[in-house]
Amino acid sequence: MKKWKRSARLVDMTRQLLDQPHRLISLSAFADRYQAAKSSISEDLAIIHETFREEGTGLLETVSGAAGGVRYLPIANRENATKLSRQLCAQLENPDRILPGGYLYLSDLLGDDRLVREIGRIWATVFSGRGADVVVTVETKGIPLAYATASHLGLPVAIVRRDSRITEGSVVTINTVSGSSKRLGSLSLARRSFPEGARVLIVDDFMKAGGTVQGMIDLMGEFRAEVIGIGIMAESQVDERLVENTVSLATVTDVDVKNRKIAVELGNLFTQGGFFDGTNPD
């Protein structure tokens, strides 16, 4: 049996915890692995918790009792979440994003693994404790955000398709109407994606009037699933919104195609009544 030094034990425990967010690890499992007393393990866990907490990247949650243990919860604190979202706003304001019709090019942001991972950390913080069973998104650009969020919550991902493919097996399909352009479309999800009654967290990259998100909510109804939250990276300010209760990091208030200017503000996650609105102590 390998003899672990305390310094190596701290490194290895940190690695194991970071690698398995939201997964409960028993103190006995750690004690066995490192051939150490539970009291020593507890001391180490206290150091790890304190270090994570001070950097605002996560914390350890201890569950007592026979089935107890410790789990790592990735966290974005208010300071880090605000800083990241301000950076996102600044990037969104780059006029090179403007496409014909006032659409915005976002693929570079969604291709940036580090940015995507930090956005996922914010959603994991906001929706932690709501008991989600699965993260759901619609192809294509929402997928990286869904995986980033799911990895921080230790959950699986289910992807809604715009066209049903043979490789999905039997699917449930609903028809949709885009809220902004009144275009018709459809959304499909494989029947075996998750069991009936699952609690789902919806994540997407961009929302205008909310036709697609409303379609996803309707589709979840067909699975008798409960939508426990909706996280949107950036939303467009519109007069008529189809969906309420979405949470956004950034709000695009104006796209001036002629003068090539985009105006972006922090999303409703940071405004009054939002999760990071400044009224919470931390």
Backbone φ and ψ of 3, nearest 5°: -95, 120
Q: How far is the CB of 180 from its own copies (least distance, A)?
A: 12
- Quick check: 79 binds its own copies (CB under 8 A)? no
**Closer residue to its own copies (CB): 57 or 237:** 57
How many whole angstroms separate alpha carbon 263 and alpha carbon 270? Answer: 17
Looking at 35, 37, 38, 50, which residue binds its own copies (CB under 8 A)? 50
How many whole angstroms separate alpha carbon 15 and alpha carbon 7? Answer: 13
Instruction: Give the pairing type, strands 184-190 and 171-177.
Output: antiparallel
Among residue numbers 221 through 260, which ones bind its own copies (CB under 8 A)?
A: none
Q: How far is the CB of 167 from its own copies (least distance, A)?
A: 5
Q: How far is the CB of 54 from its own copies (least distance, A)?
A: 8
Among residue numbers 82 through 111, which ones bind its own copies (CB under 8 A)?
A: 99-101, 103-108, 111
**Closer residue to its own copies (CB): 209 or 270:** 209
- Quick check: 47 binds its own copies (CB under 8 A)? yes
Assign 208 to helix, strand or coil. Answer: coil
**Closer residue to its own copies (CB): 160 or 270:** 160
Nearest Cα residue to 106 out of 94, 114, 117, 123 = 94
Residue 144 contacts residue 116 (beta carbons within 8 Å): yes
How many whole angstroms separate alpha carbon 78 and alpha carbon 92? Answer: 21
Cβ-based neighbours of 24, under 8 Å, separated by 6 or more: 63, 68, 69, 70, 71
Q: How far is the CB of 272 from its own copies (least distance, A)?
A: 31
Angle of CA points 52, 131, 162, to nearest 5°: 105
- Quick check: 185 binds its own copies (CB under 8 A)? no
Backbone φ and ψ of 69, nearest 5°: 160, -150
Question: For its own copies, which stretch binds (CB under 8 A), given 5-13, 219-227, 229-237, 251-259?
Answer: 5-13
Among residue numbers 16 through 35, which ones bind its own copies (CB under 8 A)?
A: 18-20
The footprint of its own copies (CB under 8 A) covers 2, 5-8, 10-12, 14-15, 18-20, 44, 47-48, 50-52, 54-55, 57, 99-101, 103-108, 111-114, 116-117, 134, 139-141, 143-144, 147-148, 150-151, 154-159, 161, 166-169, 190, 192-193
